Amino acid sequence: MKRKIRFTLGKKIVVMILAMSVILSATALFVSYRTYQGRVMSFYKEIGSSVVRTLASQLDPDKLDYYYETLEMDDAYYETQKFIADLVESSGNVEYLYVVRPHGVGVTFLFDSDMEMGENGDYTSGGYCALGTYVELLGGFAENLDRLLAGQEVEPIVQQDPSYGWLMTAMVPVLHDDGTMAGYVMADISMNEVMQEQRNFLLYTGGLLAALTLVFVVVYLILIRRNFIRPIQQLTDAAQGYEGGESRKAFSAVKIKSHDELRTLSDAFRMMLVEIDLNNMEQKELAVREQRLDSELELANELSLSMLPKELPRREGGYPFAIRGRLHQGREFSCCFYDYFLLGPDRLCLMVGEVPGGELSRALYTVMAQATIKSQLRTGQSLKEAMTSANRQLYEMSDRMSFPVLVGVLDGTTGTFSCISAGQRPPLLMRGQDRYEWMKDLSYAPLGESENVVYQELQLELRQGDRMFFHTDGLDDIQDGEGRPFGQEQLRLTLNEPGSRQAELEEQLRYVTDAAGAYADRVGQISGYAVLALEYRRRDRAQAHCVLSAGAEGGGELMEFLRGQMEANHITGRRQARLMVVADELFALCRAQSEPDSRFLAECAVPPGEGLVILRLKGSMGGRHPLDHTEGEAAEHAAEFIRRTCEQVLFEHGSDMDTVTVVKRIAGKQEAEEGECSG
């Protein structure tokens, strides 16, 4: 269907050419007029300047002061007046030549070429501008009054006088030896004829440029229409007449004889029709292929979700560990996963892996590999034997694919953790509430890559509060604007930030993924990755810890924690009560040095057979010893009570955490009665 064109290309070109012609003509007229005007004005300025400087060279500044003050004429005055008249007559272009003395808001005339001698033989009684005549300055003279009064040079002034028409006034000061002004010599040159000539120049030149512009526009538009507009109209009509390939003959009727871009455009239109037919065929094939890929991608996503772990069965008392995972899918599907399941009541197995590529075949291979490892572990084999068997079985399935994976087994009863890394990055370990550090990298070949691989286990003993962080390559490969990978050092720094290290596992994983997204140079470059966090929570009689808030509720949490630890070590009665009082007073002093929203880590150690209890509080206290920086009498008594009843009190200032340690004896000689704590 043809669309009505309201403002055609031909009309646009006409408007553009007319606008360009008018601008060029106006510019040429302006430049030529300014050049002509500048030369004419320069000529007349030179004449006036020559006359006034000639007269000024003949004047005595002291005589001018005498005539101004006395208004009396002498022989020298008449000689000067005659010289002025002769100078005007000889110059030819100067209408008036006069000498004035500026003061107030006007000037007093001292000499004037237009003065006539009176009946008594002097110039005082004759002429309009006789000696002593005062005239107020107007126009350009008034604008330059300050310069005239100061005796400074003033450029020639051109203005229209109501009585004499257009005049150019050139002037030069007559100065004393000390630079003071005695008067000004001024010459008026008639500019009436000059102004008329300038108007005639504008009319003649403007008319000539307008005529030339009109001829140029007409000729140029004829050529444009014949060689440019008409061929484009033919191509436009042919394109509008083409409806789904039914009016293809319209392009064959277009005949462009010029050997330029329009000829090339016409040929390109014809080739475009052929390419449209080919493209339609390709689009149909592509649509079928995309439909098949969408089905495969949907199936791959379903497989990816099926690889995620099921929630562990609920049981009374919970598990001696906590585990959380998180899967981040990037702009494209990736075969990364995490999994965990029970091999016994307190025996946990975890897996983290990623198969490069996002095809359906790799997703199926990932599911089979994951199921193979599970089946081998559930036969009762050791981790080393299960991984070796799974490697051999996967190699027999396919020698073109491999399965990078890290598999670990945690014995919740003993805290023993064993793991084997088959082509995966090493995990990070945090002891208690200390700091995350990279574990030793003992990575072997991915499963299924080589038949003859003997895997070895990496073992370590976990204690209460220890955490491990696992991840796939996709997290490490995130880069910032300078190309530095996230996993090189930024991952460890992120995990060691207080907001991450002290958070629950689910919140910690979200913290890491947010930090990785902010670190990336472009969000679209992030590929898929999996992260997994593990925390060992079984309490040890010899040493245990808990995390406390700095608010009032933190004191209750500390008392409940210590009571359980004391009962586990059979410390009861008076010994337990005294320790609880010390802990409560110490925590109150530490809270006074911290921020309200900060957190503390409390550790309680009871070394077997030593009769001692070691209580340690870690938190941000601004580097101040809580027992030395007390406020108020009650706080001072509390600090004195702690020092008197404890064997040892230590304070350590760290870069991001301060530590207070107290050691109290609970066995041995009979403890003396202590005074009550005033805190």
Bigger pLDDT: 453 vs 224:
453
Residue-level pLDDT at 302: 63
Q: Are residues 606 and 636 in the same domain?
A: yes
Average pLDDT over residues 346-372: 82
Residue-level pLDDT at 130: 80
Whether 101 shows a pLDDT value over 90: the answer reads: yes
Does 7 fall in a domain? no
Q: Are residues 511 and 554 in the same domain?
A: no
Give the CA distances from residue 557 to residues 100, 581, 593, in Å, rounded to whole numbers and listed in that order. 105, 14, 19
- Residue from 165, 592, 523, 535 nearest 320 by CA: 535
Residue-level pLDDT at 509: 92
> How many CB atoms within 10 Å of residue 538?
16
The whole-angstrom distance between residue 323's C-alpha and the CA centroid of its chain comes to 38
Could you report the per-residue pLDDT of 532-559, keeping only the tens digit for each? 999 988 766 677 888 888 887 888 888 9
Q: Please, are residues 586 and 617 in contact by the beta-carbon 8 Å criterion?
A: yes
Average pLDDT over residues 338-365: 83
Whether 382 shows a pLDDT value over 60: the answer reads: yes
Whether 492 shows a pLDDT value over 60: the answer reads: yes
Please tell me the least confidently modeled range out of 70-74, 125-129, 399-403, 592-596: 125-129
CA distance 29 to 609: 112
Whether 488 shows a pLDDT value over 70: the answer reads: no
Q: Are residues 397 and 435 in the same domain?
A: yes
What's the one-letter identity of residue 605? A
**Structural domain of residue 573, as residue ranges?**
543-665
Residue-level pLDDT at 93: 79
Could you report the per-residue pLDDT of 135-184, keeping only the tens digit for each? 998 888 899 999 999 989 999 998 888 777 888 899 999 999 998 999 99
Q: Are residues 506 and 557 in the same domain?
A: no
Residue-level pLDDT at 209: 84
Out of 155, 190, 225, pick the residue that ends a domain.
190
Does 209 fall in a domain? no
Q: Are residues 500 and 556 in the same domain?
A: no
Residue-level pLDDT at 275: 72
Whether 226 shows a pLDDT value over 70: the answer reads: yes
Whether 356 shows a pLDDT value over 70: the answer reads: yes
Could you report the per-residue pLDDT of 323-344, keeping only the tens digit for each? 999 988 765 666 788 999 999 8
Residue-level pLDDT at 409: 94
- Six token digits for residue 641: 């009570």
Residue-level pLDDT at 678: 33
Q: Are residues 384 and 480 in the same domain?
A: yes
Residue-level pLDDT at 218: 82
CA distance 631 to 470: 46
Whether 25 shows a pLDDT value over 60: the answer reads: yes
- Percentages helix, strand, coil for the chain (3-state, rounded to 5) are 45, 20, 35
Average pLDDT, the chain: 82
Average pLDDT over residues 386-412: 87
Q: Are residues 434 and 580 in the same domain?
A: no
Does 154 fall in a domain? yes
| CATH, residue 120 | 3.30.450.20
Does 369 fall in a domain? yes
Residue-level pLDDT at 565: 84
Give the CA distances from residue 9 to residues 16, 163, 266, 373, in Å, rounded to whole numbers and listed in that order. 10, 58, 18, 72
Does 674 fall in a domain? no
Whether 612 shows a pLDDT value over 70: the answer reads: yes
Domain count, the chain: 3
- Grouping H, G, I as helix, E, B as strand and the rest as coil, residue 342 is strand
Residue 306: exposure state from Cβ atoms within 10 A (0-12, 13-18, ≥19):
exposed
Bigger pLDDT: 300 vs 19:
19
Does 138 fall in a domain? yes
Residue-level pLDDT at 251: 59
Cite the beta strand spans of 329-451 per DSSP E. Answer: 335-344, 347-355, 405-411, 416-422, 428-430, 436-438, 443-444
Could you report the per-residue pLDDT of 643-652, keeping only the tens digit for each? 999 999 999 9
Could you report the per-residue pLDDT of 254-285, keeping only the tens digit for each? 666 666 666 676 666 667 766 766 777 777 77
Out of 536, 552, 581, pick the residue that ends a domain.
536
Whether 239 shows a pLDDT value over 90: the answer reads: no
Residue-level pLDDT at 175: 93
Q: Are residues 531 and 547 in the same domain?
A: no
Q: Are residues 498 and 578 in the same domain?
A: no
- SS3 letters for 24-80? HHHHHHHHHHHHHHHHHHHHHHHHHHHHHHHHHCCCCHHHHHHHHHHCCCCHHHHHH
Whether 602 shows a pLDDT value over 80: the answer reads: yes
Could you report the per-residue pLDDT of 457-485, keeping only the tens digit for each? 898 988 888 899 999 888 888 888 787 88
Q: Please, are residues 173 and 184 in contact by the beta-carbon 8 Å criterion?
A: yes
Residue-level pLDDT at 120: 60
CA distance 175 to 577: 111
Bigger pLDDT: 239 vs 73:
73
Whether 83 shows a pLDDT value over 60: the answer reads: yes
Could you report the per-residue pLDDT of 556-573, keeping only the tens digit for each? 888 988 888 888 888 888
Helix (H) or strand (E) segment spanning residue 651 = strand 648-653
Residue-level pLDDT at 256: 67
| CATH, residue 425 | 3.60.40.10
- Per-residue pLDDT band at 398 (split at 50, 70, 90): confident
Q: Are residues 148 and 168 in the same domain?
A: yes
> How many CB atoms within 10 Å of residue 4?
4
Whether 94 shows a pLDDT value over 70: the answer reads: yes
pTM of the model: 0.49
Q: Are residues 483 and 630 in the same domain?
A: no
| CATH, residue 590 | 3.30.565.10
Out of 488, 516, 536, pick the residue that ends a domain.
536
Does 604 fall in a domain? yes
Instruction: Give the rounded percent of residues in the chain with a pLDDT score beyond 70.
Output: 82
Average pLDDT over residues 625-648: 91
- Residue from 115, 29, 36, 110 nearest 77 by CA: 110
- Residue from 461, 307, 456, 309 nearest 383 by CA: 456
Average pLDDT over residues 388-415: 87
Residue-level pLDDT at 253: 60
- Give backbone dihedrals phi and psi of 167, rounded to 5 degrees, phi first: -135, 145
Does 477 fall in a domain? yes
Residue-level pLDDT at 672: 35
Could you report the per-residue pLDDT of 105-140, keeping only the tens digit for each? 999 999 988 776 655 656 555 556 788 889 998 888
Q: Are residues 657 and 567 in the same domain?
A: yes
Residue-level pLDDT at 116: 67
